[in-house]
Amino acid sequence: MPQENIVTRFPPSPTGYLHIGGARTALFNWLFSRQKGGKFVLRIEDTDRERSSEEATRAILESMEWLGLDWDEGPYFQSRRNDIYDAAIEKLLSIAQAYHCHCTTEILEQKRKEASSKGLKPKYDGQCRDLGLGPAPGSVVRLKTPLNGVTQFNDLVKGPISFDNEELDDLILRRSDGSPTYHLAVVADDINLGITYVIRGDDHVNNTPRQILIYKALGEPLPRYAHLPMILGPDKHRLSKRHGAMSVLEYRDMGCLPHALLNSLARLGWSHGDQEKFTREELIETFSLENVGKAAGVFNLEKLLDLNGWHIRESSDQFLVKELTPFLDRLGLENPGEEMLMKVVAILKVRSKTLVEMAEGARFLFQKEIDYDKKGDDKFLKPNVLRLLEELLGELEKTPEFTHTGLEKTFTAFLEEKEIKLRKIAQPLRVALTGKTASPGIFEVMELLGKDKVLERLRRAITHIQTKE
RNA sequence: GGUCCCAUCGUCUAGCGGUCUAGGAUAUCGGCCUCUCACGCCGGAGACACGGGUUCGAUUCCCGUUGGGACUACCA
């Protein structure tokens, strides 16, 4: 039983798809709560109605589900929780920790300009702070932040961090249209939902003192904070669209396994000694905030692909059959049924870094008529092997058992009689049967294809070579 | 500009004062295995940003420089 009630949360704003930075934040929150036997809450921060969309919300939920990051509560939608924010604002107002401000945006804008032209910090000057103003159309509510002193917290990954309160100004809590601002909504929600650990990107470090001040003004206990380093693009800049694949769903469509993406994301910024490969269970077991690094990191696709290959190899055939099916559909290949797919997956898993590759590798089996790869055709389907292939065809016709062992017997005898090495015939045969120069072992290929198709394709290749002359 | 954060191989990282001629992973380059591809195995090349301290001793602690990032909105 956990001594402490641990509640973490992931609060994406639905202004776009779930990208890998967000996914990692979600993952760390999820891992932490799962390990500690706590709760993981999902909250959609859609207070900015201009930029939020239902489509984005759906994409985020779909991503979370695909990743297997299940939540215990929610999704809560901030757009439907106004009473909570209003209550918090009213409380602050009633205990004189907040006040109405009548300054217009024009005036504020002008003041900011003046201040920065004089080289001063462009912060709110507290004009309405002590005027005791009441609500008025177009007015906002601001927090009365302390004029001096420091606000500090002990970040679970970065250590102690402190800010002079002088640096902070009286931030807006309620906009002139009556809606709550981000800072107020976050704090009010986190209090309401009983969040005890705020694990988020370190782009929020500077927001933390503002939020702490709201907690304090409200007289509520603070959560613990852990700020994760950012994920950067290859140019070391913050991840953005121009860095290619960003959306979690793109990785799914690329043929990644969710566990592999999770593994890769976990290792970006967190480590457990020299271990690189983790199953989901191992991640839950070994994860710790203490081992989260402080420096931002670049996301490496190649490493993900390597990990993906490993996770594919580690996966059960049955699981892979299920995962592979949509990718076969996408290639327009006929589904040959589970029994056949189990065999296919078994020989393809060792040579596939993605499910897309795996489906591609299975193509020759399920495609009615194969195309010869140009290079393979030129290099291996030449008249000088015509004789050999014809003789082989004869042998294969006589082979009763089209299994790996049966075929191997036929070949051993054939090669011995012809006094040649397998390599002499394997490549031409491979191109004849698969159209490609790379494939699983030639005996596996023949067994899977079955006698009829093998003979048919071999005959076709022979005709094909004959027309070359 | 101000505030805050960060800094080990190309990339992800281990390292929490001596064990570092700095370890692992990936990528890369050789080689082995071998019917091709892949897997696997063996090996090579490749990093402590710089400058001061502290210390008998700094990759590890402190300060500065440089570089990067975040925030600085009635966006989240």
Query: Checking DSSP bridges between strand A73-77 and strand A39-44, what pairing results, if any?
Result: parallel
pLDDT value, residue A316 = 96
Active-site residue flag, A241: yes
Is any atom of nucleic acid chain B found less than 7 Å from the CB of residue A49? no
Minimum CA–C1' distance nucleotide for A422: B35
| pLDDT tens digits, A255-296 | 999 999 999 999 999 999 999 999 999 999 999 999 999 999
Strands (E), A202-340: 224-228, 231-232, 297-298
C-beta atoms surrounding A75 within 10 Å: 18
pLDDT value, residue A448 = 92
User: In Å, what is the separation between the CA of A151 and the C1' of B58?
Assistant: 34
pLDDT value, residue A87 = 96
pTM comes to 0.93
Is any atom of nucleic acid chain B found less than 7 Å from the CB of residue A354? no
pLDDT value, residue A2 = 43
pLDDT value, residue A386 = 85
User: In Å, what is the separation between the CA of A285 and the C1' of B15?
Assistant: 23
Is any atom of nucleic acid chain B found less than 7 Å from the CB of residue A297? yes
User: In Å, what is the separation between the CA of A59 and the C1' of B50?
Assistant: 46
pLDDT value, residue A115 = 77
Low-confidence stretches of chain A (pLDDT < 70) are 1-3, 240-245, 469
Nucleotides of B under 7 A from a protein CB: 1-8, 10-15, 23-27, 35-40, 68-76
| pLDDT tens digits, A192-249 | 999 999 999 999 999 999 999 999 999 999 999 999 999 988 777 777 655 655 899 9
Catalytic residue among A113, A123, A144, A241: A241
Q: Using CA atoms, how far apart are residues A139 and A137, in angstroms rounded to an integer?
A: 6
Which pair of tokens denotes residue A317? 């055939």
pLDDT value, residue A36 = 95
